Structure 1
């Protein structure tokens, strides 16, 4: 699934895509900080310690039920009452829903066919490792696109009861974790995090990233064009979702 850095860049790409309605565009530009935080916020379980499915609204593998973003709104219908949401909360929730959409899309279109149990190349353990190497590589491509202002934009966001299933304190801790890594001169710890989850030294991920043979192996099985198609489709579907979700909102922002 996309990393927090990927989600930040995808959020910015969505705002700049030209696919948003004027009202959605206006809201998300005015409430950019909450939207950016929301686009990363399902990963709050990193600091809250809660099970992943409680913040992502789908299991792995996903079932055949409603998409995760629909499942969230079905579980908490008050979050779909856009006329009762403040502009900042609406933008945050819009980002949250978009995160769920692009994450689930990654599982179905990239992870499952190319790295999943039936992928049929290498071993299961090797595929899991190389999947995280690919995610780290994509993360670094997007790190180069950060404009340096993300830390300050996120720093000013103050959740106020925005999610009935996540404490404000946990969202604040997640925000602060992002800000600390995004500050100028700081290192983003994606490789370190993935390595720790696999009980491997960070150097194992770094060596694979620096190995032309390992990267070529990944791209033999996951064509770069397929990754590009995923990204373009994810952004287009995100814009469609945001236009639908934000359509009734007539905020004076």
Structure 2
């Protein structure tokens, strides 16, 4: 699934497109400007299970693998109806929840429209380990692209978000711990955990995994010649407008 930095960069794309569509004085533009740190944190909050004992399904609202009927955010609203009406929530919480829902949607887009057609189904992708390896390398590569695209303000924006009982199924302390773990990685010159995380999943050393990323021949042979990366990036771009539709529907603006 998309990495935290990919989700943050998606948040930036969402805001930029909203500003283009309605101008900086539009209703949603104004709300995002006022509550931008909350939106930033909401865009990465579903992955907070990385720092606490919550199971993934408790934060993402679908099993793995999901079924075609799983939409995640409707189940979230059904299980926690106090979140369902954004107009009954404080503005910062409502914006946070909207971004949270957009994260869930993007994860499902990735599963159904990237992971399955480009990694699980093609016969030329090798054995299961090879498929997971190339998939994880693509995510790592996209993560680096997203990290470089983030503005210098990303670290302070995320750090400014202060949850206040925004999620009924997670503590503020856990949300802050996850926020702070990402803030550390966003500091100038900091090393992200992305390589180490995927290396561990592949039972490789970080140096061995990173060497593949810097090997142009390996990347061309195993990734770029086999996976239509341009189509993946195009689908991520269309997900921006999908996200805006979801966000507007939830916030009613």
Give, in whole Å, the separation in 1 of the partners of 2:229 and 2:70. Answer: 29
Q: Residue in 2 aligned with 1:77? A: 81
Matches within 5 A, 1:1-253: 1-17=1-17, 18-19=20-21, 22-116=26-120, 118-120=121-123, 121-216=125-220, 217-247=222-252
Contact 1:20 1:240 in 2 (8 A): no
* Over 4 Å off, 4+ runs: none
Structure 2 distance, partners of 1:189, 1:228, is: 22
Structure 1 position 19, deviation (Å):
4.3
Q: Provide the rounded CA distance (Å) in 1 between the counterparts of 2:218 and 2:38.
A: 38
Out of 90-99 and 153-162, give the one that drifted further. Answer: 153-162
Whole-angstrom distance in 2 between the partners of 1:19 and 1:215: 37
The alignment's TM-score, normalised by the length of structure 2, stands at: 0.93
SS of residue in 2 equivalent to 1:74? helix
Change (3 A) 1:65 1:50: same
Report the TM-score, using the length of structure 1 for normalisation.
Answer: 0.93
Q: Distance in 2 between matches of 1:246 and 1:200?
A: 44
Q: Check whether the contact 2:62–2:70 (CA below 8 A) recurs between aligned residues.
A: no
Structure 1 residue 183, shift from structure 2 partner: 1.3
C-alpha RMSD over aligned residues: 1.5
Tell me, which stretches of 5 or more residues in structure 1 are unaligned? 249-253
